[in-house]
Amino acid sequence: MNKTELLTAMAETSGLAKKDCDAALSAFIDTVEAALKSGDKVQLVGFGTFEAKERAARTGKNPATGATIEIAASKAPVFKAGKAFKDSIQ
């Protein structure tokens, strides 16, 4: 499902206009991004938790040349599904 299909499904389920669903989805995404950038996590009980995890610096290999390279430390967004969400899709 892509964004257009998601917005169509949201509009059908909620009875809202696609334009309103697009605004709500964009606001949700922007809010989650801002929270993760500031170091917070977003926890939606029954659905899951969005958070940013620290990745340590490490040594890797360039697959094309086999040369050893240093990979810098970084932050990566992570989603952990909640129990109710996991159970609902099985």
pLDDT tens by residue, 55-73: 999 999 999 999 999 999 9
Q: Within this chain, do residues 47 and 34 fall inside the same structural domain, yes or no?
A: no
- Are both 29 and 56 inside the same structural domain? no
Give the global pTM: 0.80
Let me know whether 49 and 72 are in one domain: yes
- Yes or no: say if 44 and 37 are a contact pair by the CB < 8 Å rule: no
Q: Structural domain of residue 14, as residue ranges? A: 1-40
What confidence tens digit (pLDDT) does each residue in 76-86 have?
999 999 999 99
At 90 the pLDDT is 85
User: Do 25 and 67 belong to one domain?
Assistant: no
Res 65: pLDDT: 93
Beta carbons of 30 and 40 less than 8 angstroms apart:
no
Q: Which residues pair with 59 in a beta bridge?
A: 70
The total of structural domains in the chain comes to 2
Enclosing H/E stretch for 42: strand 42-44
At 11-40, the pLDDT tens digits run: 999 999 999 999 999 999 999 999 999 999
Query: Are 48 and 84 within one domain?
Result: yes
Q: In sequence order, what are the residues at sequence separation of 6 or more whose Cβ sits closer than 8 angstroms to the Cβ of residue 38? A: none
